[in-house]
């Protein structure tokens, strides 16, 4: 049973066909790389899965059941965690506060509920340790390196029993050295049994961590194959259109 399945999903914005009948499957414990040039429909696909907007046609299935999301909170409740391209972090808050933003641990009685800072800092610290990141829960995100920020965003996905993680260009805006750090984070997520959909247009990243690669071109899926049976040259050709399909 696929963790996530898209069945001929299309998304139109007026006359613009951002996605045309895309089929996609993400299996248990798999890292699927989704590649494509700018404007190929990658971000639209992420947003359809994450519930930012519904598909015009087609179905999204989670664990075999059709789902309909109208906002990100709904997809998260169903076990889809998203690491957004800009990480969706608040610089003015601590690492722990960011990890728990929107689902704080509270204590109290009756209508009086207050934040349990100790429990949140401890849990966040555990998550960072699991991810082998030296991020400290009480540090402000403003003071952190790109890699530490990624760790905060990824730690967030570990709070609930997520079924899958969508990562939108996690290595797009960070330094070369930090890319290695982030790829390590992705591998650790995979080793813990998480299914991951990695959206990227960095060829080396996809070939370093993915089991399978799918290519979008102008809103259509033109390839979907085992990464071992492909090559960076082939994928480049598929992205640009030099190879029409594989």
Partner 1 sequence: MSQNPSSSGSANVGIESVLGLQTQSPLQRLFGAQSFWVTIALGLMCAVMSYLQPESFATSENFYNITRNFSFIGIMALGMTVVIATGGIDLSVGSIMGLTAVSCGLVLNAGYPWWAAVLVGLFAGFSAGLINGLIIAYVGLSPFVTTLGMLSIARSVAVVLSGNRMLYQFGPGGPTFKHFGGGAWRIAAGFELSFPLLFLVALTLLLAVIYKMTAWGRYVLAIGGNEQAALLTGVPVKLVKVQVYVVSGLAAAFAAILNVGWSGSAINALGSSYELLAISAAVIGGANLMGGEASAYGAFIGAALIFTIRNALLMQGVDSNWQGTFVGAFLIAAVYLGKIRGARRE
DSSP state of 79: T
- C-alpha–C-alpha distance, residues 245 and 239, integer Å: 10
Asked if residue 153 lies in contact with residue 142, where contact means CB atoms within 8 angstroms, the answer is: no
Q: Which is nearer to partner 1, 183 or 239 (CB)?
A: 183
Binding site for partner 1 (CB under 8 A): 72-73, 76, 82, 84, 86-93, 97, 101-104, 106, 113-115, 132-136, 138-140, 142-148, 156, 175-178, 180-181, 184
CB 227, min distance to partner 1, A: 20
CB 171, min distance to partner 1, A: 13
Q: Which is nearer to partner 1, 97 or 199 (CB)?
A: 97
Contacts of 12 (CB under 8 A, 6+ apart): 18, 56
CB 73, min distance to partner 1, A: 4
- C-alpha–C-alpha distance, residues 93 and 98, integer Å: 6
CB 65, min distance to partner 1, A: 22
Q: Which is nearer to partner 1, 84 or 207 (CB)?
A: 84
CB 108, min distance to partner 1, A: 9
Q: Which is nearer to partner 1, 178 or 220 (CB)?
A: 178
**CA torsion 59→65→68→71, rounded to 10°?**
-120
Q: Provide the CB-side half-sphere exposure for 29 (13 A, CA).
A: 3
Distance of CA 45 to the CA centre of its chain: 11
Q: Which is nearer to partner 1, 5 or 205 (CB)?
A: 205
Estimate the share of the chain in helix, then strand, then coil, as percent rounded to the nearest 5: 35, 30, 35
Q: Which is nearer to partner 1, 35 or 182 (CB)?
A: 182
Tell me the backbone φ, ψ of residue 20, rounded to 5 degrees: -125, 110
CB 203, min distance to partner 1, A: 20
Residue 103: closest CA among 158, 53, 147: 158
């Amino acid at each position: 049973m696929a963790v996530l399945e898209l069945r001929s999903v299309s998304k139109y914005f007026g006359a613009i066909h951002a996605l045309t009948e895309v089929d996609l499957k993400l299996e248990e414990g798999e890292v699927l790389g989704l590649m494509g040039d700018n404007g190929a429909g990658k971000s639209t696909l992420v947003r359809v899965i994450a519930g930012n907007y519904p598909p015009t046609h087609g179905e999204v299935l989670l664990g075999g059941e059709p789902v309909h999301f109208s906002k990100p909170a709904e997809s998260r409740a169903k076990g889809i965690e998203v690491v957004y391209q800009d990480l969706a972090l608040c610089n003015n808050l601590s690492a722990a506060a960011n990890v728990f933003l929107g689902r704080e641990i509270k204590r109290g009685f009756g209508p009086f509920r207050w934040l349990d800072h100790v429990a949140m800092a401890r849990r966040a610290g555990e998550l960072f340790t699991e991810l082998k990141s030296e991020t400290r829960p009480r540090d402000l995100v403003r003071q952190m390196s790109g890699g530490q920020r990624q760790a905060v965003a990824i730690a967030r996905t570990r709070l609930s029993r997520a079924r899958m993680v969508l990562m939108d260009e996690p290595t797009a805006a960070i330094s070369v050295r930090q890319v290695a750090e982030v790829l390590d984070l992705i591998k650790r997520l995979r080793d813990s049994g998480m299914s991951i959909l990695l959206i990227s247009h960095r060829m080396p990243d996809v070939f370093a961590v993915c089991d399978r690669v799918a290519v979008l071109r102008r809103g259509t899926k033109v390839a979907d194959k085992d990464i071992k049976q492909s090559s960076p040259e082939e994928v480049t050709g598929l992205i640009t259109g030099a190879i029409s399909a594989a």
